[in-house]
Amino acid sequence: MPPTSRPLCKLGFLTIGLFDAADPRRGHESTLEIIELGERLGFDSAWVRHRHLQYGISSPVAVLAAASQRTSRIELGTAVIPLGWENPLRLAEDLATVDVLSGGRLNPGVSVGPPMHFDRVKESLYPDTADAEEFGYERVRRLLDFVRGEAASDFSGTEGFEVFSDRVQPHSAGLGGRMWYGGGSLGSARWAGEHGMNLLTSSVVKAEKPEDAEKSRAVEGSRSAEGSLDFAEIQLSHIRAFRAAHPDGDAARVSQGLVVIPTDSATARQRAKYEAYAAERLPRTATPQGPARLLFAPDLVGTSAEIAERLHAHAAFREVDEVAFALPFSFEHEDYVQILTDMTTKLGPALGWTAP
């Protein structure tokens, strides 16, 4: 392992949890079975994606509540809950409840921004307040306050036979330190650090517009990628800006979530499918995509030794000691079993990870 790399301390995975509309239970059961398998294999964490009005997990907190009763050790995370769909007070109650049920294993990851296709759903989601809703960092701040025990009401005490609290109940004392922000921009990474959150990075970052690069350099100095189109360089600048702003400095937690597909025990059919999947997605990694200038990292497909070599050369990976490797969206259950098994038996050890 190159001396600039941190040994991998925590190995996790992320799944989207797709299902067939004709049989949604089977898909949800498959997700729960994958999480159970992850615990048996020794993974430190399992994360689920969040999808609204699609055929994926629309209620990850509910799914993780079920997972908490079928596992005993593995940490359970959301990557990520888009807060534009949520009421922070009610979400805080749900998160605290599941954290209590899990024995303090919940790792909620959140993000900001208007709900996807907001113009098409706003009449259903916010029929009376759509134009007044705030979809920025203030929504995260409110959630953090409620999770961390700040007042949610100006009343506590007894009314008749009922006892009321002025803060979210149940209160799970450790949950506030396990809140993650899913950030892909320099500004979001810095904000997460300033507010004492952990940082979830992924296979997507925002490439700055040329006219904004000079502004970032003025604010961030050497931590800014200054308009670079190199994915690893941009992500590294986010990690460093986050830690520079965080009270814990270099000890602040960062998890990386690239798409990683080891093939050590894959069949020839599986290898061909994995390589075709990655090849189809490769063109989007060449240049920033769309008005938001999203830059995607290539999927990593190959033997664990090959993937480990590429990760050791990845500037951002060298500064993290936690990962939540993303599973491809549309593979079969047996493919995930093979991939996860190779991650714990081959890839993890090649990255310095030791099973618990």
pLDDT at 277 over 90: yes
Query: Distance between CA 239 and CA 256 in Å, rounded?
Result: 10
Q: What distance separates the 2 farthest-apart alpha carbons in the chain?
A: 70
Mean pLDDT over the full length of the chain: 94
pLDDT tens-digit map of 278-323: 999 999 999 999 999 999 999 999 999 999 999 999 999 999 999 9
Give the C-alpha distances (Å, rounded to integers) separating 330 from 1, 87, 249, 318.
Answer: 32, 31, 38, 29
CB proximity list for 240: less than 8 A, separation 6 or greater: 223, 319
Give the C-alpha distances (Å, rounded to integers) separating 16 from 22, 105, 295.
Answer: 18, 20, 20
Task: Retrieve residue 188's tokens.
Answer: 């979001």
Query: Distance between CA 92 and CA 224 in Å, rounded?
Result: 34
What is the DSSP-derived secondary structure letter of residue 296? E
pLDDT at 220 over 90: no
- Residue 14's DSSP bridge partners are 47, 326
Q: Which helix (H) or strand (E) holds 103?
A: none
Task: Retrieve residue 203's tokens.
Answer: 């296979």
DSSP 45-67: EEEE---SSSSS-S-HHHHHHHH
pLDDT tens-digit map of 94-113: 999 999 999 999 999 999 99
Task: Retrieve residue 118's tokens.
Answer: 């907001």
Q: How far apart are the first and last CA of the chain?
A: 21
> What domains can you pick out in the chain, each with its CATH number?
10-152+165-350 (3.20.20.30)
Model confidence at 3, in pLDDT bands (50, 70, 90)? very low
Mean per-residue pLDDT, 111-140: 98
**Whole-number CA gyration radius for the chain:** 20
Residue 11: CB atoms within 10 A of its CB come to 25
Model confidence at 209, in pLDDT bands (50, 70, 90)? confident
pLDDT at 213 over 80: no
Model confidence at 217, in pLDDT bands (50, 70, 90)? low
**Of 140, 98, 80, 82, whose CA–CA distance to 326 is shortest?**
80
pLDDT at 253 over 90: yes
